[in-house]
């Protein structure tokens, strides 16, 4: 190995400080920047990385992990015996059924496939049920196996090319619903399998809306894999936007909405990179697209709407680590206009991140309680929410510790 090569952070034995330095360097962040975001001095960061001081307490470790975009805590701590993935939740009880349906070879035998219109109507009802349910993964987890099998069969038994394309469009959006269930589950390979099948079906359908939705979800999957895949997320988003551009002058609300959702995804990825101007520039474009939608329109898959732009502004500010701005956006957002329980809960989590970033720990915990009330399954599977709760269980303020402990119990973090 060359003398100037960067060592592998996963090779043992490497101390916490060394791992932190390697991961910080890979992120392209200087010590003063990291120190400022942690509320510490550059000399403290230097001493920690050199091993002059030991590994800090859990709240600080978790803050470092989020800052460096560490997905598995053991990548930072070096403890490979019990990996803790910060952004993967516990497996849902219906995961095996959904996995089996995705993996099955649906040949159909003598069973007649339902028409594409029939599957599309069931799919629409499934999206509606998801938005209304606090236990939305349980609801769609029950519906998905049958939807997947019937949508696959509809494509297989199509008699004409038009029928096959219509079936592929429905199948693609069934896979889109599947991604909402599989996300944050302990089966990353299944997530990618669903995303790829959704994209293939969308391309076969030649339906602009289906292609846009598949690209929107694939871009998120790339981005959430880590900074090394941000370019892939951007490439997917830009190509989809370029494809949709020709349809927009005469587009209906749902196609316009998926274009707006993709514009916001470009801003989200820019914010994750720390690119302030680009992030807010894309938010402005998405906001202008939202203004073109019919009043009250709410896209059932992406939640894109005029109402959601305030929530999106909170996310951009939080990802840019702008504490004061993120709180200002949280106060300005109209939560009453978000009709989806899981999307409202997700917004509450983003608000909690904003308040914690601004040093308002008690308000952050209170906001997470609101998220739990809106949709317990959303917060249970959200890594950011779990991180905040875990940090506050070690707070110096007894009331904060007690409040966090109750939430930790509700989220299953204290389960043996």
**Per-domain residue ranges for the chain?**
16-77, 90-206
The fraction of the chain above a pLDDT of 90, given in percent, is 61
Map residue 72 onto helix, strand or coil: strand
pLDDT given for residue 416 in this prediction: 39
Mean pLDDT along residues 134-154: 94
The angle at the Cα of 187, spanning 184 to 188, to the nearest 5 degrees, equals: 75
Question: Domain 16-77 falls in which CATH fold?
Answer: 434 Repressor (Amino-terminal Domain) (1.10.260)
Mean pLDDT along residues 96-103: 94
Lowest mean pLDDT among 62-66, 120-124, 170-174, 293-297: 62-66
Nearest to 274 by CA among 16, 18, 30: 30
pLDDT given for residue 44 in this prediction: 92
Hey, CA dihedral for 50, 52, 55, 60, is it positive or negative? negative
Greatest mean pLDDT range, 105-114, 284-293, 384-393 = 284-293
Lowest mean pLDDT among 10-19, 306-315, 354-363: 10-19
pLDDT given for residue 2 in this prediction: 41
Alpha carbons 233 and 215: distance in angstroms, whole number? 9
Supply the pTM of this predicted model: 0.79
Average pLDDT over all residues of the chain:
88
Q: Residue 411: pLDDT band by 50, 70, 90 thresholds?
A: confident
In terms of Cβ atoms closer than 10 Å to its own Cβ (0-12, 13-18, 19+), residue 353 is buried
Residue 10 has pLDDT above 90, yes or no: no
Lowest mean pLDDT among 138-142, 228-232, 394-398: 394-398
Lowest mean pLDDT among 230-244, 248-262, 282-296, 383-397: 383-397
Residue 85 has pLDDT above 70, yes or no: no
pLDDT given for residue 72 in this prediction: 73
Residue 383 and residue 87 in contact, taking contact as beta carbons nearer than 8 Å = yes
All residues at 6 or more sequence positions from 391 whose CB lies less than 8 Å from its CB, including other chains: 58, 59, 62, 63, 356, 404
Map residue 56 onto helix, strand or coil: coil
CA 123 to chain centre: 22
Residue 314 has pLDDT above 70, yes or no: yes
pLDDT given for residue 398 in this prediction: 87
Q: Residue 90: pLDDT band by 50, 70, 90 thresholds?
A: low
Lowest mean pLDDT among 4-8, 52-56, 309-313: 4-8
Residue 24 has pLDDT above 70, yes or no: yes
Hey, CA dihedral for 243, 249, 255, 260, is it positive or negative? positive
Mean pLDDT along residues 188-213: 94
Residue 298 has pLDDT above 70, yes or no: yes
Residue 193 has pLDDT above 50, yes or no: yes
pLDDT given for residue 415 in this prediction: 53
Residue 98 has pLDDT above 60, yes or no: yes
């Amino acid at each position: 190995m060359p003398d100037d090569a960067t060592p592998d952070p996963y090779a043992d034995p490497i101390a916490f400080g060394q791992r932190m330095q390697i991961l910080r360097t890979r992120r392209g962040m200087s010590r003063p920047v990291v120190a400022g975001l942690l509320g510490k001095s550059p000399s403290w960061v230097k001493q920690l990385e050199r091993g002059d001081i030991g590994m800090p307490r859990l709240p600080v470790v978790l803050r470092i992990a989020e800052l460096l975009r560490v997905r598995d805590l053991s990548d930072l701590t070096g403890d490979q015996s019990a990996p803790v993935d910060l952004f993967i939740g516990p497996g849902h009880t219906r995961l095996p059924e959904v996995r089996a349906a995705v993996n099955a070879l649906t040949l159909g035998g003598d069973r007649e496939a339902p028409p594409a219109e029939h599957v599309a109507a069931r799919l629409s009802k499934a999206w509606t049920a998801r938005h209304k349910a606090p236990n939305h993964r349980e609801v769609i987890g029950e519906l998905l196996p049958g939807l997947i099998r019937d949508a696959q069969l509809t494509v297989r038994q199509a008699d004409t090319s038009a029928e096959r394309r219509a079936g592929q469009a429905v199948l693609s959006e069934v896979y889109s619903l599947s991604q909402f269930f599989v996300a944050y589950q302990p089966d990353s390979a299944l997530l990618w399998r669903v995303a790829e099948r959704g994209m293939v079906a969308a391309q076969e359908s030649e339906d602009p809306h289906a292609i846009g939705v598949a690209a929107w979800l694939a871009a998120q999957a790339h981005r959430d894999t880590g900074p090394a895949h941000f370019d892939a997320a951007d490439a997917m988003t830009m190509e989809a936007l370029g494809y949709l551009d020709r349809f927009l002058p005469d587009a209906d609300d749902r196609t316009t909405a998926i274009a707006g959702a993709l514009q916001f995804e470009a801003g989200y990825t820019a914010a994750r990179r720390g690119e302030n101007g680009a992030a807010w520039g894309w938010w402005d474009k998405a906001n202008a697209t939202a203004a073109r939608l019919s009043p009250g329109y709410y896209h059932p898959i992406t939640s894109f709407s005029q109402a959601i732009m305030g929530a999106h502004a909170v996310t951009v500010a939080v990802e840019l680590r702008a504490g004061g701005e993120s709180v200002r956006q949280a106060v300005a957002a109209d939560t009453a206009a978000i009709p989806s329980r899981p999307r409202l809960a997700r917004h509450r989590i983003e608000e909690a991140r904003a308040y914690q970033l601004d040093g308002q720990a008690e308000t952050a915990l209170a906001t997470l309680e609101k998220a739990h009330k809106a949709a317990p399954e959303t917060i249970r599977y959200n890594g950011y929410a779990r991180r905040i709760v875990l940090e506050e269980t070690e707070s110096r303020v007894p009331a904060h510790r007690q409040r966090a402990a109750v939430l930790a119990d509700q989220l299953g973090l204290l389960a043996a």
